[in-house]
């Protein structure tokens, strides 16, 4: 589900009795608001009615998109760090960049 062109996080809850899953696509601020009000503590399982459902935490699998400016800024920062290491005579950094002398 999308909100303003941005993919919203998916929150999954699972019944401890019958393992039925229930998913919600909500903006983070809405999820936090509902959680603070204990909204998710009173949700019954759609299949067997068990209360409460348990939150299922899964690993993220999506990609994070960065704007061009963010990528360029990160590259400039990394280049600055490498340049400083070379100027300071950091032999490990020099070998990593230019290789070993034979």
Q: 8-46: per-residue pLDDT in tens?
A: 788 888 998 998 998 888 888 888 888 888 888 888 888
Same domain, 11 and 48: yes
11 lies in some domain: yes
Per-residue pLDDT band at 2 (split at 50, 70, 90): very low
Structure tokens at 64: 């994070």
28 lies in some domain: yes
User: pLDDT, tens digit, for every residue of 41-80?
Assistant: 888 888 999 898 888 887 666 666 778 888 889 899 999 9
Same domain, 79 and 50: no
Instruction: Domain of residue 92: give its range.
Output: 68-98
What pLDDT was estimated at residue 26?
A: 85
Beta strand pairing status for 6-7 and 10-14?
A: unpaired
61 lies in some domain: no
Report which of 25, 21, 13 is spatially closest to residue 62, judged by C-alpha positions. 25
Distances from the Cα of 20 to the Cα of 46, 61, 91, angstroms: 8, 22, 58
């Amino acid at each position: 589900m999308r909100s303003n062109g941005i993919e919203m996080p998916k929150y999954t809850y699972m019944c401890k009795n019958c393992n039925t899953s229930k998913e919600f696509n909500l903006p983070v601020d809405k999820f936090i608001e509902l959680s603070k009000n204990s909204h998710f503590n009173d949700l019954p399982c759609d299949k067997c009615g068990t209360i409460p459902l348990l939150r299922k935490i899964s690993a993220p699998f999506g990609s994070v998109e960065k704007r061009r400016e963010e990528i360029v800024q990160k590259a400039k920062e990394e280049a600055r760090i490498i340049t400083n290491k070379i100027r300071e005579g950091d032999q490990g950094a020099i070998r990593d960049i230019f290789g070993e002398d034979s």
